[in-house]
Amino acid sequence: MSKPFPIRIRTFLVPLAGVALYYYVQFAALSICAYTYNENNTISLLSKHYGSFCILESVLMFLCLFIWLFAARKSTWQTVRKDNISMKRLLIAIPIAMAMLGLVNLYMLGFQSLSEQFPLIKNLLDEYKRNASVAQTSMGLEAAGYYIGVGVLIPVIEELVFRGIILGEFLSTMNADIAVFLSALIFGTMHMQPVQIGYALVCGLILGYVYLYSNSLYLSIAIHIIFNVLGGIAPAIFANNPLFMNMLGVLELVFVFVGLFCILYLRKSYRNKMIREV
């Protein structure tokens, strides 16, 4: 008979606290930037100073997480899985990140097709494109802040919050598949933008299973960084080079199968490890 999972109040409070902290820090960073640059229009502010916003948000978030994890190091920090991984195993992050981007491309192609038939979906897609283009207008030091924030700092923060803290807590109290799905659902809905929720949910599932199978936050962080660099920073840098972007898009589609194979490999290694430990 399998051992029942414990039901704890903290299993509900920890995810709520993680999401609340994430939103609060974003609001605080936005407010500080608006005051500093004397700009009350959010779209205008982010289009000019998105780099500053990213860096400030990241610094505030790291500070809050340090305080939280230090204060709860005997509970929350212990649920974070952080096994060391070899460089060979770390390289698997590349095809998995490429596969995630390929799935996002397929998702967006499907959305584009539906937008031609349904005006509501077209409006949602247009809104998503407008919001996505705001950050890519940054130049100079603001662009550097955008690259560092989106490419490195934000992936580390999101993995620590949504995989390390939230999924780690779920895994300690419930079935692994349910835990991964719930954390992915929170990760997807956290993005709020309707078009983005769908593919963020899929990415959350993949990152969640990678975290589970590898037993390490480091691998999911590496995948998230590569995903953001190729999916967010590369389009900003190579916006005027459609040939490069088209080639990258085709390569991402090809890697869908390679990446899924890599996840199956991690799954097999995880199951073999579980069998040896029984």
Q: Which residue has the tokens 């040896």?
A: 276
Q: Give the pLDDT confidence score for residue 1 in this predicted structure.
A: 43
Instruction: Check if the beta carbon of residue 214 is closer than 8 Å to that of residue 83.
Output: yes
CA distances from 180 to 75, 89, 142, 150, 265 (A): 20, 21, 35, 24, 18
pTM of the model: 0.93
Task: Report the distance separating Cα 230 and Cα 158, nearest Å.
Answer: 17
- Residue (of 92, 80, 77) closest to 210 by Cα position: 92
CA dist 220 and 215 (Å) reads 10
**Angle at CA 186, nearest 5°, toward 180 and 190?**
145
Q: How does DSSP classify residue 166?
A: I
**pLDDT computed for residue 163 by the predictor:** 96
- C-alpha 207/C-alpha 168 separation (Å) is 13
* The residue type at 200: A
- How far apart CA 113 and CA 253 sit, in angstroms, is 17
Give pLDDT, residue 192: 79
Show pLDDT as tens, one digit a residue, over the chain (278 residues). Answer: 455 566 678 888 989 999 999 999 999 999 999 999 998 888 888 888 999 999 999 999 999 999 999 888 878 888 889 898 888 889 999 999 999 999 999 999 998 898 888 888 889 888 888 777 766 556 788 889 999 999 999 999 999 999 999 999 999 888 999 999 999 999 999 987 888 999 999 999 999 999 999 999 999 999 999 999 999 898 888 878 888 888 998 999 999 999 999 999 999 999 988 887 76
Q: What is the pLDDT of residue 65?
A: 95
Query: How far is Cα of residue 129 from the mean position of the Cα atoms in its chain?
Result: 19
What is the pLDDT at residue 138?
A: 61
C-alpha to C-alpha distances, 239 to 32, 111, 142, 242, 255, nearest whole angstrom: 30, 21, 17, 7, 22
Please name the amino acid found at residue 277: E
